[in-house]
Every structure is written in structure tokens, then in C-alpha cells.
Amino acid sequence: MATLIEMDRVSKIYPMPGGDVHALRSVSLSIERGEFVSIVGASGSGKTTLLYLIGLLTSPSEGAYRLNDRAVDKLSDRELSSIRGREIGFVFQSFHLIPQLSVLGNIELAARYAGFRSNGADPKRRALDLAERVGLAHRADHRPSELSGGEMQRVAIARALLTKPPLILADEPTGNLDEATGGQIFGLLEDLTKEGCTVILVTHELALADRTGRKIRLRDGAIDDESA
């Protein structure tokens, strides 16, 4: 498999009045296309910081980061925004759906940030197809307040898939769900890797992490252990 993510001694340091906070310490990491990787660790271990660095939501203080064979740590904010919109799908614990929009409207929202229509594709048709894929075609006109937690997370996953990104980043996507519903969401993410998508999952649920292809454990901002 080809390498999608390559980090070389990446650190993230936050200057604070009481002294610098080292959120990540010299992390070196390689992730291949199609991998399903989980990131685990105690609160404050650096899990979310690492995910945000991978997702270009923040920049490293030190070290080098290559995404899809491009050095992204030196790109402009405009260039980073373009890559995020087209090549990375985000799924968060709290869904981040727009209350005033329907299921289809929320799924289509990703197109606004990615220039999807300029690619000659119809975002509404794609949104309908994705709603059907995640089992919500019959709820396409419903708003988030009319959905269960599991249904809202499925909308978020469909939205993340709109631009067919090679990378999905999921930050505690099952954290607000019951065990059975969380298992269904995990199954959707698992299916994506079978289609060649790379999925990186931050989770505190070790039972789910154990089911991914590789588990990375962080401690005090550094990689403490990796296991298949």
C-alpha cells in the first residue's frame, strides 16, 4: 500500500503565561492508504491534538508532515483549507449538524467548502445517494431535532463522504451513543476502509480500538505503544 500520512518528529507546543505546554512531543508516524487506525490514551495525552494536526486544523511547531506525498506543514491557510475541503472528511462526537437544515441539506453542506459543483458533480444527487447508503433516505427531509443520536452521526458520516475524500478522521464518534448504536457507526467506518479509504479513529473505547487494524497509544504527548 502507498503511504498517505508521514510525520517526522512532529511536536506541538502552546506558549502559555505559566510556561510552554507540550501537547505533542516528537511524534513520528506513517499511515498507509486503506488502513483503519485507532488512537487511544488518557485525557490530555495528545489524541485530539494529533488528529487536528493530521487534519490540517492546526500546524506543527516542529517537525515535518507530508500528506499524500505533499509537504503540508509549510502551506498557506488558503491551500490548507482547499485540501481539507476536498481530501479530508471529519466526524465528531457532537455531530456539528445545522439545526435549520434537513438531512440532505446537512450532507450537501460539505460541497460549499470544496467547490464540489465546479467538478461537474451534482451535490444533491450525491447527497441523496449517501443518505440511502447510511440508511436515512426515508429521513432525508427531516431536521436534526427529529433524529436519534445514531441517525445524526450517520448524517455526519454521509457529509464527511460527500467529496469522496481518501481520509476520514473520526474524533470519539461513538462517545454520545449507546453500545449497539456505536457498534453500527463503527461498522460504517470499517466498511469505508474496505473500499480503500483511510480511517483514523480517536476513541476511549478500547473494545472498539482493538478491532481496528492498528492501535496507537499516546502518553504525555508521545507515542507510548503501537500494536496491530
In the chain, where are the structural domains located?
A: 3-227
Q: In the chain, what are the helix, strand and coil shares in percent, each to the nearest 5?
A: 35, 30, 35
The torsion angles phi and psi of 194, rounded to 5 degrees, stand at: -70, -20
pLDDT tens, the chain, 228 aa long = 689 999 999 999 999 888 888 999 999 999 999 999 999 999 999 999 999 999 999 999 999 999 999 999 888 999 998 899 889 999 988 888 999 999 999 998 877 665 555 455 677 888 898 899 899 999 999 999 999 999 998 999 999 988 889 999 999 998 888 888 888 889 999 999 998 999 999 999 999 999 999 999 999 999 988 876
As a whole number of Å, the CA-based R_g of the chain is 17
Q: What is the CATH number of domain 3-227?
A: 3.40.50.300
Residue identified by cell 504527548 is 221
Beta bridge partners of 5: 31, 67
